[in-house]
């Protein structure tokens, strides 16, 4: 019997930004040399739109259909960096929450609740990219970490599965991707 997968929907980042994020990680490691950090692998960078959690295999195709039904009518997301923040031991680049972002997240939640057996709840987590995880509870100051990146344009979203790996970073597998339209 097939097992449930841990699924999430996320914005797929442009390749040039992925390289830039790697450089940002190096900058942060140099500036926070006294803090124990576990860096997020470059292949795991994304902007989470909705975490679906453990999902039955029969729901997977319905989720893909639901995502496809909204992406062509939603324009690409443009996200502006707000700063570096910490949330649940995650060091992340936080972006301004825009109407377009909120609208897309709400549409994803609504269509998945309507079309599948899942029941997603509203969570107010800002758009972000997790770049590292804090290993210890040491308090750190992020205000001295001046990071500049251009506005991020998300043109494609993906459905991913996440596999936990006993202390190692989780493995992510892209199951389906869909381009955002012109609105």
Q: pLDDT tens, 78-133?
A: 999 998 888 888 889 999 999 999 999 999 999 988 888 888 877 778 999 999 98
Q: What is the CATH number of domain 5-179?
A: 3.90.1140.10
Backbone phi and psi for residue 101, each to the nearest 5 degrees, phi listed first: -65, -50
Q: Is the pLDDT of residue 2 over 70?
A: no
The model carries a pTM of 0.88
Query: Residue 163: which of 54, 87, 40, 39 has the closest Cα?
Result: 54
**Exactly one of 27, 46, 74, 176 is catalytic; which is it?**
46
Q: Is the pLDDT of residue 167 over 80?
A: no
Q: Is the pLDDT of residue 153 over 80?
A: yes
Cα gap 20→11, rounded to integer Å: 17
Please state the rounded mean pLDDT for residues 153-179: 90
> Annotated catalytic, 46?
yes
pLDDT interval class at 12 (50, 70, 90): very high
> Annotated catalytic, 176?
no
Cα gap 80→149, rounded to integer Å: 8
pLDDT interval class at 142 (50, 70, 90): low
């Amino acid at each position: 019997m097939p097992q449930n997968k841990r699924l999430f929907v996320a914005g797929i980042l442009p390749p040039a930004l992925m390289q830039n994020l790697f450089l940002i990680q190096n900058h942060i490691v140099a500036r926070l040399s006294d803090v124990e950090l576990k860096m997020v692998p470059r292949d795991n960078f994304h902007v989470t739109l909705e975490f679906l959690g453990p999902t039955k295999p029969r729901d997977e195709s319905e989720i893909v259909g639901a995502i496809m039904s909204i992406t062509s009518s939603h324009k690409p997301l443009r996200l502006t960096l707000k700063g570096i923040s910490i949330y649940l031991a995650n060091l992340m680049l936080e972006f301004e929450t825009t109407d377009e972002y909120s609208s897309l997240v709400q549409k994803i939640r609504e269509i998945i609740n309507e079309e599948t057996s899942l029941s997603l709840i509203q969570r107010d987590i800002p758009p972000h990219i997790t770049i590292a995880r804090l290993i210890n509870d040491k308090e750190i100051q992020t205000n001295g970490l001046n990071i500049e990146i251009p506005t991020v344009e998300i043109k494609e979203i993906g459905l991913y599965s996440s596999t936990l790996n006993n202390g190692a970073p989780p493995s992510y597998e892209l199951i389906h991707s869909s381009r955002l339209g012109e609105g």
